[in-house]
């Protein structure tokens, strides 16, 4: 499990716990952790695409 998936899972657990207990702060922390995980996914995807573009440009030369 990657770091982004762990952030999302941890965040979901916090969010659910916060909702169940009425703890709005814990719920908000969970949503923030999930957003952090999604951001990491986006950055990793962009990095992979950039690497692929770099590799394909190298192959054309």
- pLDDT (tens digit, 9 = 90+) per residue, 7-38? 999 999 999 999 999 999 999 999 999 999 99
Hey, CA dihedral for 37, 38, 42, 45, is it positive or negative? positive
Instruction: Tell me how many degrees the CA angle 44-48-50 measures, rounded to the nearest 5.
Output: 115
pTM for the complete prediction? 0.75
Count of alpha carbons within 13 Å of 58, Cβ hemisphere only? 6
Q: What pLDDT was estimated at residue 55?
A: 77
With CA atoms as reference, report the closest residue to 37 among 60, 13, 17, 7.
7
Residue with tokens 């709005």: 24
pLDDT tier at 61, thresholds 50, 70, 90? low
């Amino acid at each position: 499990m990657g770091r982004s998936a762990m952030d999302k899972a941890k965040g979901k657990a916090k969010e659910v716990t916060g909702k169940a207990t009425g703890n709005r702060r814990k719920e908000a922390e969970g949503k923030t952790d999930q957003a952090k995980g999604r951001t990491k996914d986006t950055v990793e995807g962009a990095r992979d695409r950039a690497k692929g573009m770099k590799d394909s440009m190298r192959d054309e030369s």
